[in-house]
Structure 1
Amino acid sequence: MLSSQLALPVTLPDDETYASYFGGEDSLEVSHLRSSFNHLNEQFQYTYLCGLGDSGKSHLLYATCVHAQELGLSSMLLSLSEVQHYGPQVLEGVDALDVVCIDDLHLIAGDEAWEKALFNFFNRFNEPGKLLLISADLLPDMLHLDLPDLESRLKWGTTLQIRSMSDDDKAQALTNRAKMRGLELSDECARFLLTRLSRDMRALLDVLDTLDHASMAAQRKLTIPFIKATLKL
């Protein structure tokens, strides 16, 4: 039932919005997704995002759910890396929502039960007033899906290929995210984090959260010595 799905352990970061997307609000991706909401009542809106793990596609899924909530629409983000082990029954009742975002579709490629469930969900959800956003690391015909009909469905709508973030992009994204929190993170400090820690953007944002709390508690600005001491580098 839908009520049980809402208890799934998927949370929406409150600062992952279209405004904080590293490509900017004027990027092709954000412009397209905003336009999709404008045409929601006219016809089914479906977009497929293709990009590697550091491309920012997950950010866009989070941001789309946040935007849906701001518009008063019901929404859900299903991150398959988090819910795959529950089985395809997690899709039961989800078609009652207005906006559904499914992240990391490539993880279920070759799983017969999941592929059939997603194909059936796609068919149920395909109607005006609904918006579906799916992400994967490869294009549909490169996923090695066993169900040709699912591959065909995934090719509907608009496909956007997103480039991976460079180190410059990640440094800028960190400083921008810090600024949104009222935290000053210099470019020098951002690049220090990139050289000393994982370049995974999600991990870097978790570190920024840690530094934010530490800075507030100590009433200290973010400097390289303070970052070293806080993170024990």
Structure 2
Amino acid sequence: MNTQLTFDLPSVPALGRDAFFVSPSNHVALALLEKPGNWSNRKMLLCGPAKSGKTHLAHVWAEQTGAQVFAAKDVTLDSVAGIAQKAFVVIEDLHEAAGDPDAETALFHAHNLILAEGGTLLLTGTDEPSVWPIALPDLASRVQGTALAQLLAPDDQLLAMVMVKQFADRQLTPPAKVLTYLTTHMERSFAHATALVDEMDRIALRTRKPLNRTVAAQALDKLAAAQA
């Protein structure tokens, strides 16, 4: 029996470059982020589905450039001047601030001042900005005028590697045949991959069983029942 499964160890995400798995669905976005000197107007918008690796890739970029990372919903008018003093800035989850008048105003001024001061700006958000409910026209036009680096829907190989990473964050290593079983039967989404890892971890901890096909099947059934 795998004794690691008897301890409820905290999940500590690995966000370094060596933990970012490159596949056909993300290699274009990665290539764009690796050359910020080529960005139009010194800004880029990294977008993609939930759990697609935006935060991971943004932190890789921040590590490489020395950028400071800020959550969009935490940017205020009082903080704009300080943020704009950074040479490289990441503002994450812009979609979460859409529809909040105060947040939109602060982000509009942050965008303008960062670029006016000669900084380089990486924004992140789910999907494409055209579907975000941004009410402030000036902010909407600037966001929609930003070049996109898109993370696409995952292929089987990437889904498997995402789950390998998330299991590793929990100090767990499932057999390859279990990963093959999961990618054959699961939904094709990063969110479902994350939910499966969480559920398998819970089942294994509760039953003190290794991460085998039975545990995988139980997790798939549990998630399917929750969506029914």
TM-score (structure 2 length as normaliser): 0.64
Please state how far the C-alpha of 1:107 moved relative to its aligned partner. Answer: 1.6
Give the match's secondary structure for 1:126: helix
Question: In 1, are the aligned partners of 2:97 and 2:103 still within 8 Å (CA)?
Answer: yes
Identity, in percent, stands at 23
Q: Relative to structure 1, is the Cα distance of residues 87 and 28 closer, same or farther in structure 2, using a 3 angstrom cutoff?
A: closer
Q: Relative to structure 1, is the Cα distance of residues 45 and 109 closer, same or farther in structure 2, using a 3 angstrom cutoff?
A: same
One-letter amino acid of the structure 2 residue matched with residue 76 of structure 1: V
1:116-155 alignment runs, 5 A limit: 116-127=105-116, 130-155=119-144
User: Larger % of helix: which?
Assistant: 2
Q: Is the deviation greater in 119-128 or in 153-162? A: 153-162
Indicate the residue corresponding to 1:76 in structure 2: 69
Question: In 1, are the aligned partners of 2:44 and 2:123 still within 8 Å (CA)?
Answer: yes
Q: What is the alpha-carbon distance in structure 1 between the residues aligned to residue 197 and residue 14 of structure 2?
A: 10
Give the alignment partner of residue 224 of structure 1, picking from 196, 202, 212. 212
Please state how far the C-alpha of 1:118 moved relative to its aligned partner. Answer: 0.5
1:59-86 per-position Cα deviation (integer Å, ceiling 9, x unaligned) = 2112222223xxxx242242x4xxx3x5
Indicate the residue corresponding to 1:217 in structure 2: none
Give the alignment partner of residue 109 of structure 1, picking from 81, 84, 98. 98
Q: Which has the higher contact order (CA 8 A, sep 6+)?
A: 2
CA RMSD of the aligned region, Å? Answer: 4.1
**Paired residue total:** 198
Does the alignment pair 1:173 with 2:162?
A: yes
Indicate the residue corresponding to 1:162 in structure 2: 151
Q: What is the alpha-carbon distance in structure 2 between the residues aligned to residue 127 and residue 31 of structure 1?
A: 26
Indicate the residue corresponding to 1:23 in structure 2: 22
Q: What is the alpha-carbon distance in structure 1 between the residues aligned to residue 149 and residue 190 of structure 2?
A: 23
Q: Which blocks of at least 5 consecutive residues in structure 2 are unaligned?
A: 1-11, 223-228
Question: In 2, are the aligned partners of 1:99 and 1:131 still within 8 Å (CA)?
Answer: yes
One-letter amino acid of the structure 1 residue matched with residue 20 of structure 2: Y
Q: Relative to structure 1, is the Cα distance of residues 23 and 59 closer, same or farther in structure 2, using a 3 angstrom cutoff?
A: same
Q: What is the alpha-carbon distance in structure 1 between the residues aligned to residue 84 and residue 64 of structure 2?
A: 19
Q: Relative to structure 1, is the Cα distance of residues 127 and 87 closer, same or farther in structure 2, using a 3 angstrom cutoff?
A: closer
Indicate the residue corresponding to 2:34 in structure 1: 34
